[in-house]
Amino acid sequence: LNRVTLFALIFSIGILVDNSIVVLENIHRWFSMRKLPMEDAAVVATDEVGNPTILATFAVIVALLPMAFVTGLMGPYMRPIPINSSVAMFFSMLLAFILTPYLAIRWLKHDEAHESPEALEREDEARAGFLVRLFNKIYMPLFNSRAKRWIFLGFAGMLLVVSVLLLVSRAVLVKMLPYDNKSELQVVLDMPEGTPLQETYRVAKQIADYIKNTNEVKNYVIYVGQPAPFDFNGLVRHYYLREAPNLAQIHINLIGKYDRKAQSHEIAERIRDEVARIAKANGAKYVAVVEPPPGPPVLSPIVAEVYGPDHKGQLEVANQIKKIFENTPGIIDVGIYDNYLQREFQIDIDREKVKRYGLSEDVIVKTVRIALAGHKVGLIHSSDDLHPVSIVVRLDEKYRGSIEDILSMKIPTPMGGIPLNTLVTVKPATTEHDIYRKNLQPVVYVIANVNDKLGSPVYPILDLWDKIKNIKTPDGKGVEELLTHQPELTDRYYVKWDGEWQVTYETFRDMGIAFGVAIVVLYILLVGWFKSFKMPAVIMSPIPFTLVGIVPGHFLMGAFFTATSMIGFIALAGIILRNSILLVEFAEQKLKEGLSLEEALLEAGIVRTRPILLTAAAIVVGAFVIIFDPIFNGLAIALIFGTIASTLLTLVVVPVLYYMIVGEERKLHLCPAVPIDAKKEEC
């Protein structure tokens, strides 16, 4: 069991009761009719909704199960939802057919015995009378007027277009996973190469002094020259490798999430500008305010991997990308992961002078080494310590903080102490770190973050695509951009987009494929069931209208459209088919009983509205408890708003389309009107 499995259970609760609700509501309806003994009525009622319930159950399973084959990082993370929910749906169908009728006979019999037939009849007539009046006002004008039907369908289509435009216009942003309200932040500081430890600490302390005045900050710890304790951030962003005198981290602990109004990403956004100003004023090379990612584990939200035939050319391309990032609104914390040139000093010993003073080159080398790195001269053995403590001799920090301090150090000779600078000459030089490689290919990383307003790395990359493509390269061939795979050869310069972008792209691509597969399989399933190519189109027509609720719901809640939102959308494709199947199956049955097309559709709307609304309410209530979770609230918003909108539209769209597309055709092929009790074989 893990967090995702538990949310799969919560998600399943809303859809598991659907089968039982449909069966139980129909049993209650037959009990109220009092045409048969209760045991027989329960069997007949269960049989009446058996076929549509089986079909609807497998429709939900078909919609959910393809998501189990999503690849990439998010595949295993989200897999418990489709697998557990599909298995649970199958067993809920069995329980609805076996246990629900038995319990209905046991418990509803007692309730019915205390109510007079007249009271039950009056209650049913009152309920039916309201629905008859309601659906007469809705259906009959649409059935009797072709123009009104097209106006209504045009209005529904306009709602769908407006909802999609909210995504296209970026009123609702697409993001892999939303921000999570964490209890910690980190400030990552890179000073120029060769910066002494004391200077790095001074700048980090200046930043920390500003941060500690933030109301939501509880305390902080500064790590200079060594990485912070190993955590999730350190693992995925390689902070555990940050070990150098010019590197620092500030680990910030916030007060409890229930004791503050601002979320952690809002606090990070608030302090980011001032932290950057302080760092820049002190000559910092890179500074970033980061929080532990809610997922996926990536180096940074935006990562541009630069590959090429020449490392110098890679650096040139990377620096151009860095400038483009810095000049793009919404992109922050821009930096380069590369083998930066490191400053060093080469000390050349003057052999003639060393001999003149009666020294050897080895003495000079050992003296400098002891001054800088120290020399172990002994051990301290204590009864309180498990291991002995080394005694190291080294110059005090204030005498080795710069090259001038080292050169002024006196070297003992037979003639007295001689300054080191009289025996050596110093040449400034540069050296390189190890080259970064990915799958054995040399690479330069350009990393960046996105601000709170932009939120998702998808949009900057889409906006920057042409700008990156137009970068001038040393070979004159330009840059080729890659989305998901590294180049096989580095015969030219490539930029491969990585980070959260790649995970977002792969996840939504695979989910889109899963949704397409689900739609095709659902259509084939419905064609096989109804022996018609038009009927499945009518039944599946409410699926796109789930977006009429999902996208505006995200807009109203100020939420990102995330991977969990996509799961809700795909799940609704199967869930909402239940309503269509219930309506169409009942209308078909009434047509075979001899009712006119209008009467059959009106009767279907009246009788099936209650189970449809009850199942919708179960889904909404089941999803409501998830809406407060920062990661899975997209799933809840999709289920709640999508169910409400599609349910209301289904009750009208499906009958209208059935009337327009399938009605006349099926009336020509149906058997003539027969008594209700007639056998189907006699038709």
pLDDT at 677 exceeding the cut of 50 = no
pLDDT at 323 exceeding the cut of 80 = yes
Question: What is the mean predicted confidence (pLDDT) over 644-669?
Answer: 80
pLDDT at 189 exceeding the cut of 60 = yes
pLDDT tens track for 277-288: 999 999 898 898
Question: Sign of torsion, CA 603 604 609 610?
Answer: positive
CA distance 529 to 536: 9
pLDDT band at 554 (very low <50, low <70, confident <90, very high): very high
The top-scoring range by mean pLDDT among 5-14, 117-126, 518-527 is 518-527
What is residue 206's predicted lDDT score, i.e. its pLDDT? 94
**Domain spans, the chain:** 1-113, 145-179+523-564+628-649, 184-335+454-503, 342-432
Contacts of the segment 31-36: beta carbons below 8 A, 24+ positions apart: 31/104, 31/108, 31/112, 32/120, 32/121, 32/123, 32/124, 34/117, 34/120
What is residue 683's predicted lDDT score, i.e. its pLDDT? 42
Question: What is the mean predicted confidence (pLDDT) over 603-621?
Answer: 86
What is residue 433's predicted lDDT score, i.e. its pLDDT? 63
Contacts of residue 247, defined as CB under 8 A and 6 or more positions apart, other chains included, come to 189, 190, 191, 200, 224, 225
Question: Sign of torsion, CA 229 232 237 241?
Answer: positive
Do 377 and 391 contact (CB within 8 A), yes or no? Answer: yes
DSSP sequence for 422-482: GTEEEEEEEEE-PPPEETTEE-EEEEEEE-TTT--SHHHHHHHHHHHHT---TTSS-EEEE
pLDDT band at 339 (very low <50, low <70, confident <90, very high): low
Nearest residue to 59 (alpha-carbon basis) of 546, 571, 544 = 571
CATH of region 1-113: 1.20.1640.10
Bridging pattern class, strands 493-498 and 479-482: parallel
Bridging pattern class, strands 444-450 and 479-482: unpaired
Contacts of the segment 46-53: beta carbons below 8 A, 24+ positions apart: 46/97, 46/100, 46/101, 48/589, 49/22, 49/23, 49/582, 50/97, 51/585, 52/22, 52/578, 52/581, 52/582, 52/585, 53/19, 53/22, 53/23, 53/93, 53/96, 53/97
Q: Which range has the worst mean pLDDT, 19-23, 302-306, 443-447?
A: 19-23
Nearest residue to 16 (alpha-carbon basis) of 81, 98, 97, 85 = 85
Average confidence score pLDDT of the chain = 83
Measured at the alpha carbon of residue 463, what is the angle toward residues 457 and 464, in degrees to the nearest 5?
90
pLDDT band at 368 (very low <50, low <70, confident <90, very high): confident
Partners of 345 in the beta sheet? Answer: 428
pLDDT tens track for 72-92: 667 777 788 888 888 888 888
The top-scoring range by mean pLDDT among 100-104, 274-278, 419-423, 672-676 is 274-278
pLDDT at 671 exceeding the cut of 50 = no
Class assignment of domain 184-335+454-503?
Answer: alpha beta
Helix axes 311-326, 458-469, angle to 10 degrees: 130
CA distance 185 to 202: 20
CATH of region 342-432: 3.30.2090.10
What are the angstrom distances between the C-alpha of 499 and each of 46, 67, 160, 242, 302?
Answer: 52, 22, 32, 20, 5
What is residue 128's predicted lDDT score, i.e. its pLDDT? 59
Percent of the chain whose pLDDT exceeds 90: 16
Do 451 and 330 contact (CB within 8 A), yes or no? Answer: yes
pLDDT tens track for 204-250: 999 999 999 888 899 999 999 888 887 777 777 778 788 888 899 99
